[in-house]
Amino acid sequence: MSETVYGPVTDWATDFDHGSPAYAANQHKIWDDLKNSGCPIAHTERYGGTWLPLTHEMVHSIAYDTDHFSSEGPVVGQLKPSEVPDRIGAPIGPVPPISSDPPFHNEARRLLLPAFSPKMIDPWRDEVIEICNKLIDDMGDADHIDAALQYSQHIPVMVIARMLGLPVEDGDKFRGWVNLVLSGIGEERTEERMQKFMEFNEYLAYHVTDHKENPREDLISFLLNAEIFGEKLSLEHAVGTVILLLIAGIDTTWSGIGSSLWHLATNSVDRRRLVENPDMIPTAVEEFLRAYAPVTMARVVKEDMEFHGVQMKKEDWVLLPFPAANRDDKQFANAHEVVIDREENRHAAFGLGIHRCLGSNLARLEMNVAVEVFLQRFPDFSVDANEMVTWSTGQVRGPRTLPFVVNARA
Amino acid sequence: MRVHVDPAKCQGHNRCYALAPELFDVDDYGNAFELNDGVVPAGLEDKARLALANCPEFAISIEE
Ligand code: HEM
Ligand code: SF4
């Protein structure tokens, strides 16, 4: 993994870089060191000025304060939202509802909520079970597998492609685009990157036109017919939401499944408990979500303001590190320990306030089924000591390779 | 014992419905409400407390 365009970090309190490989590798220690040195909110000039608040209280209050913090830029980039050419600004933003602010946000979100409610998502369970089993069947009887490349990365792609009505075989393409948007934040803006963005847009334009001409029972057709404020969604809005659903659901859930399996590969006591008591899996998954929360979001400061003693400037980025909030010992007992039967767990892995992850019911279903099926088929597995586990960089964190040795199969 | 979901705070994380479906249900938008006017049947008090302890938005309250 390479450094970002800004180079190596010199000081985490005043020059941090959340897109750097060092942050991805050592974030828990970085947060602790900052907090212990009396710095609950770090700053960097990188990306045009960015803040990193570390306590649950601060993260909670920023997520709730939509008057001062806009969702116009949910992912930090080298350009501020106002510097991006042809960009749809607040309160709509390019990918509603995640990029939208009230009051528009509420309408754009309400439109999608029914499709992702528990009663619409639960019926997908059998299909997810089938997908997971098929992926394991495809591994044959190999003793050495990669649980990220052969398992966790495929599950959310296959599900969301079916829900949207896109070809399931295009999974590799989707993952390439997701990577482009989320992991490349610190890379140079090369011709090649721009070319890939164009290909993504052309691909979507093709499928949206096809759905217009041949409507069917899927989310793309639903979006093309949906109304907001009594009018059909604009094409930009519909396409923006398709992009969002592809991007928001894929490497987040892939990360959540991967981190859970990594924990179980490296903690044999927990693994045995879950193999023997599969009823405990849902509670354990909530703890994996807390301890290895995959997603950090961002906001944009609307006007110059003071926040907990620091001076924020208009258009500064503010990160919302839900993973750090989840390890705040003021909010969680033994915050740094992974306790798979933790009873009290108000974790914020799916965000807080009005942008609560719209796909949380689906993500939970996928994570639960993925862990359940993996443990059923491979009751004993461990990390292959000769290979490297690699983690993503950027605002979504999870293992991108998981070389495992299968010690027992059922 | 009675439980109550504050609809102004609930954001539909669905923890309560998953942990205590005897006490909570969700509407078509995924937002929760209490069943049976919030009255907790005898023996389910622990489930009510568990739901409260797992609501990320602090939207659930209990009257003992
Ligand atoms: C483990 C997996 C996942 C995690 C950890 C996660 C996390 C999050 C977080 C933290 C937010 C809040 C954004 C903010 O405050 O700005 C969010 C929003 C969102 N997520 Fe997820 N997500 C996951 C899976 C999914 C899936 C599977 C989908 C859909 C297919 C999805 C769709 C969305 C959408 C549409 C929003 C925007 C909601 C709004 O702005 O009102 N996510 N997610
Ligand atoms: S857990 Fe809290 S936020 Fe979630 S549905 Fe229940 S009351 Fe609403």
Among B35, B55, B58, B61, residue to substitute to test ligand 2 (most atoms within 8 Å of Cβ): B55
Residue ranges per structural domain of chain B: 2-63
Sequence-distant (6+) residues with CB within 8 A of A235 are A208
Rounded to the nearest angstrom, the gap between the alpha carbon of residue A262 and the centroid of all alpha carbons in its chain is 17
CB of B6 within 6 A of ligand 2: the answer is: no
Residue A188 has pLDDT above 90, yes or no: no
**Which ligand 2 atom sits nearest the alpha carbon of residue B51?**
1
pLDDT score recorded for residue A95? 87
Quote the ligand 2 centre to B30 CA distance (angstroms): 9
Ligand lying nearest the CA atom of residue B8: 2
The per-residue pLDDT for range A293-341, each reduced to its tens digit, is 999 999 999 999 999 999 999 999 999 999 999 999 999 999 999 999 9
Residue A400 has pLDDT above 80, yes or no: yes
Q: Which residue has the tokens 């306030």?
A: A353
Find, among A241, A357, A206, A365, the residue nearest to A296 by Cα.
Answer: A357
Instruction: Identify which of A110-119, A191-200, A237-246 has the greatest average pLDDT.
Output: A110-119
The per-residue pLDDT for range B22-41, each reduced to its tens digit, is 999 999 999 999 999 999 99
What are the φ and ψ backbone dihedral angles of A353, each rounded to 5 degrees? Answer: 85, -155
Angstrom distance (rounded) from CA A96 to CA A253: 20
> With bands split at pLDDT 50, 70 and 90, how would you rate the model's confidence at A195?
confident
CB of A358 within 6 A of ligand 1: the answer is: yes
pLDDT score recorded for residue A372? 98
CATH class of B2-63: alpha beta
CATH class of A21-408: mainly alpha
CB of B3 within 6 A of ligand 2: the answer is: no
> With bands split at pLDDT 50, 70 and 90, how would you rate the model's confidence at A183?
low
Angstrom distance (rounded) from CA A9 to CA A233: 44
CB of A77 within 6 A of ligand 1: the answer is: no
The mean pLDDT value of chain A amounts to: 93
Residue ranges per structural domain of chain A: 21-408
pLDDT score recorded for residue A181? 73
Quote the ligand 1 centre to A182 CA distance (angstroms): 14
Nearest CA to ligand 1 atom 18: A357
Q: Which of A346, A350, A360, A365 to mutate to test the interface with B (most CBs of B within 10 A)?
A: A346
pLDDT score recorded for residue A22? 93
The strand pair at A50-53 and A317-320 is best described as: parallel
pLDDT score recorded for residue A182? 67
Sequence-distant (6+) residues with CB within 8 A of A44 are A14, A15, A16, A17, A50, A52
Q: Which residue has the tokens 């700053």?
A: A43
Angstrom distance (rounded) from CA A102 to CA A114: 19
CB of A253 within 6 A of ligand 1: the answer is: yes
CB of A109 within 6 A of ligand 1: the answer is: yes
Nearest Cα of chain B lies from the Cα of A343 at a distance, in angstroms, of 7
**Which ligand 1 atom sits nearest the alpha carbon of residue A298?**
16
Counting residues of chain A whose pLDDT is more than 90, the rounded percentage is 78
Angstrom distance (rounded) from CA A26 to CA A105: 35
Whether B11 sits inside 8 A of A345 (CB atoms) is no
State the average pLDDT over residues A13-24.
94
The per-residue pLDDT for range A340-395, each reduced to its tens digit, is 999 999 999 999 999 999 999 999 999 999 999 999 999 999 999 999 999 999 99
**Which ligand 1 atom sits nearest the alpha carbon of residue A112?**
35
Q: Which amino acid belongs to residue B18?
A: A
State the average pLDDT over residues A209-214.
93
Residue A186 has pLDDT above 70, yes or no: no
pLDDT score recorded for residue A184? 62
Residue A1 has pLDDT above 60, yes or no: no
What are the CA-CA distances from residue A377 to residues A136, A140, A150, A274, A279 (Å)? Answer: 8, 12, 14, 13, 16
Angstrom distance (rounded) from CA B53 to CA B61: 10
pLDDT score recorded for residue A94? 84
Sequence-distant (6+) residues with CB within 8 A of A123 are none
The per-residue pLDDT for range A258-280, each reduced to its tens digit, is 999 999 999 999 999 999 999 99
Sequence-distant (6+) residues with CB within 8 A of A383 are A262, A265, A266, A389, A402, A403, A404, A405
Neighbours of A86 (CB within 10 A): 5
Contact at 8 Å (CB) between A232 and A376?
Answer: no
State the complex-level ipTM: 0.96
What are the CA-CA distances from residue A334 to residues A236, A256, A285, A294 (Å)? Answer: 46, 21, 17, 20
> With bands split at pLDDT 50, 70 and 90, how would you rate the model's confidence at A107?
very high
Q: Is the sign of the CA dihedral A125, A131, A132, A137 positive or negative?
A: positive
Q: Which residues of A253-273 are buried (b: 16+ CB within 10 A; e: fewer)?
A: bbbbbbbbbbbbbeeeebbee
> With bands split at pLDDT 50, 70 and 90, how would you rate the model's confidence at A102?
very high
What are the φ and ψ backbone dihedral angles of A380, each rounded to 5 degrees? Answer: -140, 125
The per-residue pLDDT for range A139-177, each reduced to its tens digit, is 999 999 999 999 999 999 999 999 999 998 998 888 888
The per-residue pLDDT for range A65-94, each reduced to its tens digit, is 999 999 999 999 888 999 988 888 888 888
Ligand lying nearest the CA atom of residue A345: 2
Quote the ligand 2 centre to B57 CA distance (angstroms): 7
State the average pLDDT over residues A220-239.
90
Using a CB–CB cutoff of 8 Å, tell me whether B24 touches chain A.
Answer: no
**Which ligand 1 atom sits nearest the alpha carbon of residue A293?**
5
> Model-level pTM?
0.95
Q: Interhelix angle for A235-266 vs A171-182, to 10°?
A: 90
